[in-house]
Chains A and B, each alone.
Chain A
Amino acid sequence: MPFGNTHNQLKMKFSSEQEYPDLSKHNNHMAKVLSPAMYERLRSKQTPSGFTLDDVIQTGVDNPADDELPDLSQHNNHMAKVLTPDMYRRLRERATPNGFTIDGVIQTGVDNPGHPFIMTVGCVAGDEETYEVFKELLDPVIEDRHGGYKPTDKHKTDLNPDNLKGGDDLDPNYVLSSRVRTGRSVRGFCLPPHCSRGERRAVEKLSIEALASLTGDLKGKYYALKNMTDAEQQQLIDDHFLFDKPVSPLLLASGMARDWPDARGIWHNDNKTFLVWVNEEDHLRVISMQKGGNMREVFHRCFCTGLTKIETLFKERGHAFMWNEHLGYVLTCPSNLGTGLRAGVHVKLPNMSKNAKFEEVLKKLRLQKRGTGGVDTAAVGGVFDISNADRLGFSEVELVQMVVDGIKLLVEMEKRLEKGQSIDDLMPAQK
Chain B
Amino acid sequence: MIHEKAIMPFGNTHNNFKLNYKVEDEYPDLSKHNNHMAKALTKELYGKLRDKQTPSGYTLDDVIQTGVDNPGHPFIMTVGCVAGDEESYEVFKDLLDPVISDRHGGYKPTDKHRTDLNYENLKGGDDLDPNYVLSSRVRTGRSIKGFTLPPHNSRGERRIIEKLSVEALTSLDGEFKGKYYPLKSMTDAEQEQLIADHFLFDKPVSPLLTCAGMARDWPDARGIWHNDNKSFLVWVNEEDHLRVISMEKGGNMREVFRRFCVGLKKIEEIFKKHDHGFMWNEHLGYILTCPSNLGTGLRGGVHVKLPKLSTHPKFEEILTRLRLQKRGTGGVDTASVGGVFDISNADRLGSSEVEQVQMVVDGVKLMVEMEKKLEKGEAIDSMIPAQK
A, B assembled together: yes
The reply to whether the CB of B8 lies closer than 8 angstroms to some CB of chain A is yes
* Number of chain A residues close to chain B: CB under 8 A: 45
Q: A100-B14, A132-B3, A197-B26 are in contact. Are A29 and B9 (CB under 8 A)?
A: yes
Residues 1 to 56 of chain B near chain A (Cβ within 8 Å): 1-10, 12-18, 21-22, 25-29
Q: Does B200 contact A (CB under 8 A)?
A: no
A257 touches B69 (CB 8 A): yes
Minimum CB–CB distance for B277 against chain A, Å: 13
CB nearest to B20 among chain A residues: A198
Tell me the interface secondary structure of chain A in the complex.
loop
Residues A202 and B25 in contact, CB atoms below 8 Å apart: yes
Tell yes or no: B186 within 8 A of A by CB: no
30 contacts between A and B (CB under 8 A): A63-B160, A65-B156, A66-B157, A67-B155, A71-B184, A71-B217, A93-B7, A93-B8, A95-B10, A95-B13, A96-B4, A99-B10, A99-B14, A107-B216, A110-B217, A111-B217, A129-B2, A129-B3, A133-B4, A196-B14, A196-B18, A196-B61, A197-B25, A197-B28, A199-B18, A258-B68, A259-B68, A260-B69, A262-B28, A262-B29
CB <8 Å contact, A198 and B26: yes
- Say whether, besides A111-B216, A258-B68, A65 and B25 are in contact (CB < 8 Å): no
Q: Which residue of the partner chain, among A68, A99, A132, A198, contacts B1 with CB atoms under 8 Å?
A: A132
Q: How far is the CA of A68 from the CA of B8 in the complex (A)?
A: 13
Does chain B have a CB within 8 A of A178?
A: no
Chain A residues within an 8 Å CB radius of B4: 94-97, 133
A201 at interface (Cβ–Cβ under 8 A)? yes
Contact A93 B69 (CB under 8 A): no
Bound CA–CA A92/B6 (angstroms): 9
Q: Considering residues B6, B12, B26, which has the most beta carbons from chain A within 10 angstroms of its beta carbon?
A: B6
What's the interface size class on B, roughly?
35 or more
Residues of B within 8 Å of A96, CB to CB, are 3-4
A71 in contact with B22 (CB, 8 Å): no
Q: Which single member of A29, A107, A198 contacts B25 (CB below 8 Å)?
A: A198
When the two chains form their complex, are residues B220 and A194 in contact, meaning their CB atoms are under 8 A apart? Answer: no
From B8, B65, B275, name the one whose CB has the most chain A CB atoms within 10 angstroms: B8
**A-side interface residues toward B, CB under 8 Å?**
29, 32, 58-59, 63, 65-71, 74, 92-101, 103, 107, 110-111, 129, 132-133, 194, 196-199, 201-202, 226, 252-253, 257-260, 262
- Given the complex, which residues of A lie within 8 Å of B10, measured CB to CB? 95, 99, 101
B69 touches A259 (CB 8 A): yes
A-B pair count, CB < 8 Å, reads 110
- Asked if B69 and A32 sit within 8 Å, CB to CB, the answer is no
| Chain A min CB distance to B27 (Å) | 8
CB of A59 within 8 A of CB of B146, answer yes
The CA-CA distance from A263 to B125 in the complex, in Å, is 55
Q: How far is the CA of A59 from the CA of B274 in the complex (A)?
A: 8
Q: A71-B184, A197-B25 are in contact. Are A99 and B7 (CB under 8 A)?
A: no
**Is residue B281 contacting chain A, with contact meaning CB distance below 8 A?**
no
B28 touches A70 (CB 8 A): no
Among A32, A63, A67, A97, point to the contact of B7 (Cβ < 8 A).
A32
The reply to whether A258 and B69 contact each other, CB–CB distance below 8 Å, is: yes
**Is the CB–CB distance between B68 and A68 below 8 Å?**
no
- Min CB distance, A328 to chain B, in Å? 15
